[in-house]
Amino acid sequence: MLRNIFAFLPAIVLTCVSGLGHAAGDQVNSLRVAAIQMVISNDVEENLSRILRGIAEAAESDARLVLFPETALSGFDRETIKQLDWSGLKQAMDAVAERAKENNVYVLYGCATQSDRERPYNSAVLIGPDGAEITRYHKLGPEPWFTPGDHLTLFEIDGIPCTAMVCHDERYPEVVRLPVLSGALACFYLSYEINSMEAALRKAEGYRAQLIARAVENGIWVCQANGIGPLGDSNTKSLGHSRIVSPDGVVQVEAPALVDTMIVEEIRPSDSGRGNALESLELSPVGDWWREGIKLVRHANSPRAELLDASSKSIVDVKNTVRLALMQTVPAKWELDKNFDVFLKMLDVASDEQAEVFVTPECWLDGYAAPDKSSTPAKLQAIAQPLVGSKYLDRVAAEARKRSMYICFGFTSLEDHKIFNASGLWNDHGELVGVYHKTHLQTHDLQYEFGRELPVWETPWGPLGIMICADRRWPETARTLRLQGARLILNPTYGMHHEANEWWMRTRSYENQCFIAFAHPNVGFVVDPKGNVLSKRDEQPGVLISDVDLSQATDDNHLRDRRPELYRAITDLK
């Protein structure tokens, strides 16, 4: 179950908390970030004074995280770093930690830190609201007077998985992409873009473009605190222009050039879909390269570090795009050979379109004979298929293997001398993943046994669920499948397909923020997490081909805001 939950970060939304007093491991609805744009001095005491004042100002603005520039505490240039008093710097770092604790805020700031080599690191240091250091990230491509870092980072702020980079690192997309693939929903960028004045002006648009690119190409928030100066007569400048960029690449707030100031913005983890990043895992051959690169991400100690590790291992195995093929043809009752031949022809159509999942209507093999006036339990049992030894089911398995396709096939099953209205799911290796038995039987279905489970099965696209025909009338059916992680629910059916039915299905998808694929002999359609009809075909015979982006199925709204403790009557009352 944990794997189902954590495979879909950013779906880790455990508790909605705002303001102060967050419990460890809870993820907040939003995070208020204050980025301090300040002069980077060669005097540690001067820098410390500005940092302490900045923390207090940010706390007064209800910020939860205070972000400072690269080397904001230690100073930056070669001579300053060479002459650092490490004992004095340690005292200054302790003062920053104490101020973070006093104001109950996170502080992420730049500072030189000692390494086990001749040169120190150019580091980003994260302090928690309790004053304890959470993690350090070291600049990967630093100046010659620093030692290069050796890892990428993933850490949590109020339960939100985040990462960081320092100045020059911004030029390398993989520095952000790999932590995002491990779960990061926000990146904090500490910089001191020092150049000659001519170069600073020439590079200004490039710096801005790179920051926007890191946000939009990964679908995450990117927040920058940039140093300014040195001021005075020096011909070298860092202009500032600190920014906070939303996942769609829009600059939400931007500081002016060469002004000591603070910018504040509320960022929402639920906006970070990470779609482009996750889709990169499906690009051959670079997907394998990204998977290997995730090993470079070091997870900071946190209440959920182990679970974040588990999520990054599972997320790389989950695809977010799938091509569906929904079969639309009216079968002949009781005529198994004829129906199976039509199935094979429709399968050819789906193969030509490179479909990955093929879905037949309900009880396709026997033409959903149960409602026929001549039907009896004995007659149904005569055409029911055992899971082992059925020539039809064996052929379904062979076709799935041959075409490298998942197949959801409807039939009457014979199991332990009982008959069920069943849909089997075969994987692209021809293996039977599982069989779902219709759980909500109507009058004409009472010749069948009731299904007793609402299972989901692991697939390349994460957990997948099936509900058959009338099952869709009960909201609990789809909700149960969704709560087990199903972003896609297949709905083979034979019954009603009128306009009201379409609205029912749109409601089921909307209230569960998932995709539902409705496969009926006369119509096929797919509804998306917002309740929209993504694709539809109402001509038969034929096949509806639909491309689905499962990253749109999040649980940041209707699922997150549920109040399960109030719903006991659903199960307590019979």
Alpha helices in 305-441 (DSSP H): 305-315, 336-352, 377-383, 391-403
All domains of the chain in start order, with CATH: 2-315 (3.60.110.10), 321-572 (3.60.110.10)
CB-based burial label for 535 (10 Å; 0-12, 13-18, 19+): middle
- pLDDT value of residue 5: 33
3-state secondary structure of 184: coil
Cα–Cα distance measured from residue 22 to residue 20, given in angstroms and rounded to the nearest whole number = 6
H or E stretch at 323: strand 321-328
**CA count, 13 A, side-chain hemisphere, 117:** 10
pLDDT tens for the chain, 574 residues long, are 333 333 333 333 332 322 333 444 456 789 999 999 999 999 999 999 999 999 999 999 999 999 999 999 999 999 999 999 999 999 999 999 999 999 999 999 999 999 999 999 999 999 999 999 999 999 999 999 999 999 999 999 998 999 999 999 999 999 999 999 988 999 999 999 999 999 999 999 999 999 999 999 999 999 999 999 886 667 889 999 999 999 999 999 999 999 999 999 999 998 998 888 888 887 878 888 888 888 889 888 544 445 445 444 455 557 889 999 999 999 999 999 999 999 999 999 999 999 999 999 999 999 999 999 999 999 999 999 999 999 999 999 999 999 999 999 999 999 999 999 999 999 999 999 999 999 999 888 889 999 999 999 999 999 999 999 999 999 999 999 999 999 999 999 998 888 899 999 999 999 999 999 999 999 999 999 999 999 999 988 999 999 999 989 987 677 777 888 888 888 776 5
- pLDDT value of residue 317: 59
Q: How many CB atoms lie within 10 A of CB 341?
A: 11
Q: What is the rounded (10 degree) CA torsion for 208, 212, 214, 217? A: -150
- Please list, in sequence order, all residues whose beta carbon lies within 8 angstroms of the beta carbon of residue 29, skipping any fewer than 6 positions away: 13, 16, 17, 18, 268, 269, 270
Residue with tokens 């004992």: 87
Q: Which amino acid is at 140?
A: L
The residue among 380, 365, 359 whose CA lies nearest residue 332 is: 365
